[in-house]
A and B are shown apart, each in its own frame.
Chain A
Amino acid sequence: MLKILLSRVREYKKYAFITPLFMIGEVAMEVLIPTMMGLIIDVGVAASDMDYIIRMSVMLVLAAALSLSFGMLGAWSASKASSGFATNIRRDEYAKIMGFSFADVDKFSTPSLITRMTTDVQNVQMAFQMMIRIFVRAPIMFVFAIIMVYHNGGSLSAVFAVAIPVVMVAISLIFGRSHGYFTRAFKGYDVFNRVVQENLNGIRTVKAYVREEEQLGKFEESAEVIRSNFKKGQTIMALLNPVMMSITFACMIAISYIGARLINIGHMETGELLSIYTYTGQILSSLVMVGMVIVMFSISWASMIRISEVLSTEPSMSLNPDGIKDVKDGSIVFSDVSFGYGKDSKVLSDINLEIRSGDMIGIIGVTGSGKTSLVSLIARLYDVQSGSVKVGGVDVRDYDLEALRNQVAVVLQKNTLFSGTVEENLRWGNAGATESELRWASDVASVTPFISAMKEGFQSHVEQGGTNFSGGQRQRLCIARALLKKPKILIMDDSTSAVDTATDASIRRALREDVKGLTKIIISQRLSSVMDADKIVIMSGGRIEDVGTHEELLSRNAGYRVLYETQTRGGGLDA
């Protein structure tokens, strides 16, 4: 998993590798400086040797300048490396997800994909930056400081042989104990956010039923989970500083005593003792840093797993770029098709259906009868489990996917407009469409009446999801967008449900008269939308129950007759 992620560093590898080098330089200076400071006091000041003081001071200033340069360079390269790393992950994930088939998207779910591309990437970026800066810095600091202590104090380093294991045990106990609480607190955040979100969305419901107090109770519960877990976790973490202080002070006392003896017998200078005090701090704190980084790392672990899952998923459907590019006509043949969304699910079985090029086909049936599944096989949004679907006489799996989808336009049930202008949205169908093509598609889909009433016409702004248009207007825009593709097959999956009957009829009339040769497949709940089709397909329980014209079905299919009667009797004001 780490390999999958780390291979994304790519062109920023050089930054990732020089960062530790800069760190080594910075740390070396940081460790050297206390010794030089000690020397100035011991040798220079003690002997009133002004020359020596000046000489050492110049060196100290140089060392500080070096340390500063290394530090700044390190800061620069670390942020280049980590930002670049995140940028690459984001790019790769995006490209990967764009290559996902519908089935792959279903598997992950859209909200989860969004998290994997946003929050998770930020977490991983932070962990990476910590890694190359601190995880490298701390051990180097540790080693340097130990060497310096040994060099200056010799046997004094024995003190650390005792202190270091104590610190390690203390750190792992404190971090280990508190970690669980923090994890639980973060999970509590999910519930907390959900309660707020649900109340924002459902505020009218809450107020209409006067449920404010009850919701407050729920909210308090979720806030309490956060409070109690943070309290427990932080209470344990509060031990860290006092424990570290105690150990540091204990070391200092031991060093002072032993140091005094060493100085007494002339094995050490007073300045050296002073600098060892500084090293003590460096040694112990570098251990704490390593502990911290490990904790941070474990927090972002879950994010790393989620990202690498996306990156290592092989799209379940290849684009088949070497496939057949030419779709001859709009004829469709289903032979013995069965299909399901997973291995064990069966949504369609024994589907046999022939559709002539240029026909208009209506599909009706209750929710869950397989209408949408059936049509999604035509544009090869999913693959069949067995049998075959042929478009223009060729199995859909033998086409170049892009060529196929360019000829099969699907107006999805859950359709989406994107933020931008009306024209930009329409041009999704065909980026190079001419002005007159735009007009034509708008006319056919009955977009023209409401667009021409808008002040900015085709340049009118569309908000994210098209929320500034009514449901019926959105549906008509989506139909126009699909028409611009100039496809051979147009599939409308309940695409006029919010459009009034008169407009619905005029769209169908235009489709029939102005777009000759186009195979039209219309799924609808309204019989009026499919009544005049060349063939009506009745779906039931994933099978085709009956196929025929309106008149045929009316005379032989009892269910159809009942449906017809209910709909014409109590049909509705906009149905």
Chain B
Amino acid sequence: MQDTVSFMRLRQEGVDSMRRPQGGATAKNPIKAMKRVLSLVFGERKAAFAFIILCIIIVAFSTVYYSSFLGTFIDEYVTAIIGVEDPDYSPIVRALAQFAAIVSISVIFSYVLQRIMVKISQDTLYEVRVKMFRKLESLPISYFDRNPHGTIMSRFSNDTDTLNQMISNSLVHVLQAIITLMMLVAAMLMNSLLLSFVVAVFVLITIKATGSISKKSGKQFSRQQATLADVNGYIEEMMNGQRVIKVFCHEERSKEDFEALNMKLFESMSKANTLANIMGPVTMNLGNLQYVALVIVGAVFVMLTGGGHAGYTIGALAAFLQLSRSFSNNVNQMSQQMNTVLLALAGAERIFELLDEESEIDDGYVTLVNVVENPDGSLTESSEHTKRWAWKHPHKDGSPVTYTPLKGDIVMIDVDFGYVPGKTVLHDISLYAKPGQKIAFVGSTGAGKTTITNLLNRFYDIADGKIRFDGININKIRKADLRQSLGMILQDTNLFTGTIRENIRFGRLDATDEEVEAAAKLANAHDFIMMMPDGYDTVITNNGESLSQGQRQLLSIARAAVADPPVLVMDEATSSIDTHTEALVQDGMDKLMENRTVFVIAHRLSTVRNSNAIMVLDHGHIIERGDHEQLLAQKGVYYRLYTGAVELD
């Protein structure tokens, strides 16, 4: 019975050792983390928690009962019939029937307990995952700048996995062990104080021994994880650069480097594993020694007290031995579970860190609504899809709600910005764009072109100054509405696994199939889509790896076209695409730009030439502004960029 349990655990540990979390192995504040985990698991399930405790008590009680039953059985029933001719078996049958009844209860309750825990643990994990993802989606862009994707990813994979181990396995085992231990202690104390003392001594030794082993193995384990990360990192880098390796005939060198890392991993891995594997034999044999000690002390005790009814009987000793075995099994189980629990708590802390991150603050109250125009020119809000939009602006002073038509008029006044407080990267940026105008940003890497565009949609918040959209301070506009009115075409197109249609519809979820296709046609994407095996229903995976760079750009234009926003922010791609596709992209962009206010980070001369105004940026300042001819005439930075004397990228 106990062996079954310990095997379940063994398997669990095997799985653990593969899925141990990367990073710190110890929690900073395990107790606090534990409290929070418990409230996640049982916070909303107090009744279930009470029932679980009840189940555990019943199971623990029956464990104690049958641990002592066998001794009593032999002592009172079996010994009574030794040598008796034609004995009466009915007391034996009755005792066994009673035993059967009680263990049946134990079996039933332990099954119920496990069923409940399966449900609770899987539900909790689901909730934790959803909470994490909801939080993730709400975090400001700066969070993603600060934290490497790999780290965030491991919150979702490794850390939730260890949490899973703990909730679905360790939690119940530890609770069960604690309650069982309390009962066993009571039973042992009632049986014999002297022998209980012997057990106590061994408990101390066991704790000491396992403690020192797990401390050592913990250290080895982190070392193993570190080298494993090195090896896997090396593999990833070399596999990705393999073509270069071959072109430079670097195979042998790279094999040598790998060999060194691989051998280092072997050393640390075999040490860490040895320590982990040793735990079992050590605790088991400490249990055996305890048994020997108990037998000797017990036997002396039985002999001294005469063994009769007045004294300590062999049956009592046998019962105690049985109890003590259960006891040491439970102690072992606890001490081994502690490892998993501590690891899981360290992971839980990292999960909580993510959950406690500050979400993007949105206190905008100006919203975007559909309107109809009244005969007198005023606007009335409409619940229908009128294709006419207006900013609904409730006023704090109590004056009536005003409706401002959505036009795409943008003004920036004396804007300062820094990613880190105190480190300003944009200085005194002032500019305006009337509806339908095109503004181009030009400048070298790090001049602040992308940064400006990221302020418009409030990916970042400005430090000083003002940005107005149709005359409204953008800080007053609800972020979702602000962003919906700004189309973004980023330099790198992000596609999501799904059909092409779904990816275009990403721009506006209620777009009809016709609207999606119309957008694709406008973007010049229709033709290549129709060439694909399933047309618009072709599934793309892995960020559209089967598509060319140019095709991905066409899809991103189509996506913006279907969203049909009054203002467009574009980062022209620098990556090289062939002339034919480039012409298609260019044409698609031109069509998309018609009748919209456009901010474009420009790399193409034609784009710049067609702009109403060009802003030349340098180190966060606008150093030149004007249209193409004016700027050329100035013979300043723009002139030198244009003539190719300065690098731009």
Contacts and interface: CB of A to CB of B under 8 A. Distances in A.
Task: Give the most central of B130, B249, B575, B641: most A CB within 10 Å.
Answer: B249
A40 B295 contact: yes
Given A94-B255, A202-B494, A405-B249, A253 B7 contact: no
B208 to A, nearest CB: 16
B266 A281 contact: no
Contacts of B92: 256-257, 260
A40 B84 CA distance: 24
Given A98-B254, A498-B574, A68 B281 contact: yes
Interface in A62-91: 63-65, 67-68, 70-72, 74-76, 78-80, 82-84, 86-87, 90-91
B69 to A, nearest CB: 9
B342 interface: no
A574 B579 contact: no
B5 A241 contact: yes
A201 B543 contact: yes
Given A288-B7, A571-B605, 11 more contacts: A33-B288, A44-B295, A76-B277, A204-B459, A206-B137, A242-B107, A366-B581, A502-B646, A505-B644, A525-B579, A572-B604
Given A264-B81, A573-B603, A238 B118 contact: yes
B634 interface: no
B516 interface: no
B488 A53 contact: no
A543 to B, nearest CB: 16
A256 B141 contact: no
Contacts of B563: 209
A431 to B, nearest CB: 8
Interface string B569-588: 00000111111111100100
Contacts of B459: 204, 207
Contacts of A472: 647, 649
Nearest to A194: B497
A224 interface: yes
Interface in B500-521: 506-507, 509
B314 A46 contact: yes
A492 B183 CA distance: 78
Contact of B580 (A366, A401, A402): A366
Given A231-B122, A367-B577, A223 B483 contact: no
Nearest to A415: B244
B189 interface: no
14 contacts: A41-B295, A94-B235, A100-B242, A110-B239, A199-B133, A204-B490, A206-B137, A211-B509, A246-B104, A246-B107, A249-B103, A381-B246, A472-B647, A503-B647
Nearest to A105: B242
A310 to B, nearest CB: 12
B507 to A, nearest CB: 6
Task: From B8, B18, B292, name the one whose CB has the most chain A CB atoms within 10 angstroms.
Answer: B292
B557 interface: no
B282 A68 contact: yes
A335 B604 CA distance: 40
Given A273-B74, A412-B243, A416-B241, A122 B603 contact: no
B295 A497 contact: no
Query: In the complex, which of the residues B115, B141, B288, B645 has the most CB atoms of chain A within 10 Å of its own CB atom?
Result: B288
Interface stretch (A126-134, A158-166, A383-391, A507-515): A126-134
B215 interface: no
Contact of A45 (B137, B314, B543): B314
Contact of A44 (B106, B253, B299, B642): B299
Central interface residue in A98, A130, A260, by most chain B CB within 10 Å: A260
A180 to B, nearest CB: 17
B585 to A, nearest CB: 12
Given A114-B236, A216-B130, A566-B583, A429 B299 contact: no
B292 A200 contact: no
Contacts of A95: 255
What are the 7 A-B residue pairs with the smallest beta carbon separation, nearest first?
A71-B281, A75-B277, A202-B494, A79-B273, A285-B3, A497-B576, A208-B488
- Interface size class, chain A: 35 or more
B371 interface: no
A573 B641 contact: yes
Interface in A208-237: 208-212, 214-216, 219-220, 223-224, 226-227, 230-231, 234-235
A40 B483 CA distance: 82
Contacts of B5: 241
Nearest to A239: B111
Contact of B288 (A46, A60, A110): A60
A1 interface: no
Interface residues of B, number: 168
B445 interface: yes
B110 interface: yes
B82 A471 contact: no
B250 A428 contact: yes
A464 interface: yes
A202 B495 CA distance: 8
B289 A253 contact: no
Interface in B274-301: 274, 276-278, 280-282, 284-285, 288-289, 291-292, 295-296, 298-300
Contacts of A153: none
Contacts of B122: 227, 230-231, 234
Nearest to A484: B248
Contacts of A274: 70-71, 74, 318
A41 B73 CA distance: 15
B579 A567 contact: yes
Given A134-B10, A241-B5, A274-B318, A200 B144 contact: yes
A33 B295 CA distance: 13
Interface string B600-634: 00111110100000000000000000000000000
A296 B642 CA distance: 65
A324 interface: no
Given A64-B292, A260-B77, A215 B649 contact: no
B593 to A, nearest CB: 15
A71 B285 contact: yes
A285 B3 CA distance: 6
A44 B168 CA distance: 45
B496 A264 contact: no
Given A50-B299, A211-B506, A498-B649, A198 B496 contact: yes
B413 interface: no
A69 to B, nearest CB: 9
Contacts of A67: 281, 284-285, 288
Contacts of B291: 37, 60
A99 interface: yes
Interface stretch (B50-58, B256-264, B343-351, B399-407): B256-264
Interface string B81-92: 111100101001
Interface string A3-43: 00000000000000000000000100010010001001100
A238 B115 contact: yes
Contact of A79 (B3, B262, B274, B606): B274
B144 A203 contact: yes
A571 B582 CA distance: 11
Contacts of A470: 445, 649
B259 A91 contact: yes
B270 A84 contact: yes
A410 interface: yes
A245 interface: yes
A205 B494 contact: yes
Contacts of B495: 202
B483 A203 contact: no
B247 interface: yes
Contacts of B581: 366-367
Contacts of B278: 71-72, 75-76
A192 B133 CA distance: 11
Contacts of B156: 192-193, 196
A575 interface: yes
A83 B236 contact: no
